[in-house]
Amino acid sequence: MDSITHFRGSLMRKTKRELIVQIDGLENELQQVRNDKRKIQHEFEMQTVSMQKIATDFDIEIAKTEEKRKELLTNLSNQDANSSNLMQQMDQCTIQNRQLTAERDGLLVQLEELKQQKTIAQNKTLELIASLESIARDSQLKLSESLATNSALKLQSLQVKAENQMKLLHLQLSEKTQVIEINKLQLENQQLKTQLKKEEEGRSCPICLCPWQESGNHRLVTLPCGHLFGDGCVKAHLRQNSTCPLCRSRAKLNNLIYLFGFNASTSGN
């Protein structure tokens, strides 16, 4: 009986110690849980502040994006207006080219007429010279038969005078014809050079001198200054220089304006 009581007492003491140990462990765990709770609550507050800041930054970015969108719409509208103006200018240039072509054809016709007139004048001059030579020969024969030595001297003087007059007449006719022809040829040459230059500039890239294409790497683009180039050529230039290849005005890659509805095969007409 005493041993049973002793065993029970020993078991209760052991159980009590284990319970105390368990209670201490639970209190420690509870304290740890409280610490974790405070830590989580602090992190939640920090995340809340961070989220509020992100939301504010997001609203600011949305406002900036909206401003950029409005600015891009304005730029797009201006580019459409510039493209319309350029197309009008190109139409005017086409009309001027046709007028200049008609004027050139008229000048070529006039030049051909002047060449024909020159040929007729040369033939008449040759006929006149032949007639004068025939008259001189006839006069020489007649005078040699009827006149004496003094008359022969006079005849020789008349012959020299006639030859000089014929030479002078021939020179005057030749000089006038040559001057007219030279002036006309110079005028035609200058006009043809100007016309060819305008036509070449109107249908070719001024960088590579190759015709534009309706699409692809050599499609038609323009800069804000109004000069026209092939897409690939002007991009390669602007990667090394920030100016227009022709007028040297400020230009960048994002300033390129693509022209639509342009037929490269008829740009020089």
Look at residue 30 and give its three-state secondary structure: helix
What pLDDT, on a 0 to 100 scale, did the predictor assign at position 147? 46
**pTM reported for the whole predicted model:** 0.28
Read off the pLDDT band of 240 (50, 70, 90). Answer: very high
Mean pLDDT value of segment 79-83? 78
Q: How many Å apart are CA 101 and CA 108, to the nearest integer?
A: 10
Contacts of 169 (CB under 8 A, 6+ apart): 125, 128
Residue among 232, 244, 186, 179 at smallest CA distance from 208: 232
Contacts of 58 (CB under 8 A, 6+ apart): none
Q: Are 164 and 119 within 8 A, CB to CB?
A: no
Q: How many Å apart are CA 181 and CA 184, to the nearest integer?
A: 5
Q: Are 186 and 195 within 8 A, CB to CB?
A: no
What pLDDT, on a 0 to 100 scale, did the predictor assign at position 268? 44
Q: How many Å apart are CA 3 and CA 247, to the nearest integer?
A: 118
Residue tagged 């007059």 (tokens): 165
Cα 182 versus chain centre, distance: 37
| Residue range 115-161, pLDDT digits in tens | 888 788 678 767 766 776 666 566 555 645 554 455 456 657 767 77
Q: How many Å apart are CA 169 and CA 163, to the nearest integer?
A: 10
What are the phi and psi torsion angles at 213 (to 5°)?
-115, 160
DSSP secondary structure letter of residue 253: G
Q: How many Å apart are CA 170 and CA 180, to the nearest integer?
A: 16
158 to each of 120, 138, 148, how far by Cα in Å? 29, 13, 15
Structure tokens at 6: 């002793």
| Residue range 199-235, pLDDT digits in tens | 555 678 999 988 888 888 889 999 999 999 999 999 9
Furthest CA-CA distance within the chain = 203
What pLDDT, on a 0 to 100 scale, did the predictor assign at position 188? 64
How many other C-beta atoms are found inside a 10 Å radius of the C-beta of residue 231? 19
| Residue range 191-208, pLDDT digits in tens | 555 555 555 556 789 999
Give buried/exposed letters for 183-205 (b at 16+ CB in 10 A, else e): ebeeeeeeeeeeeeeebebbbbb
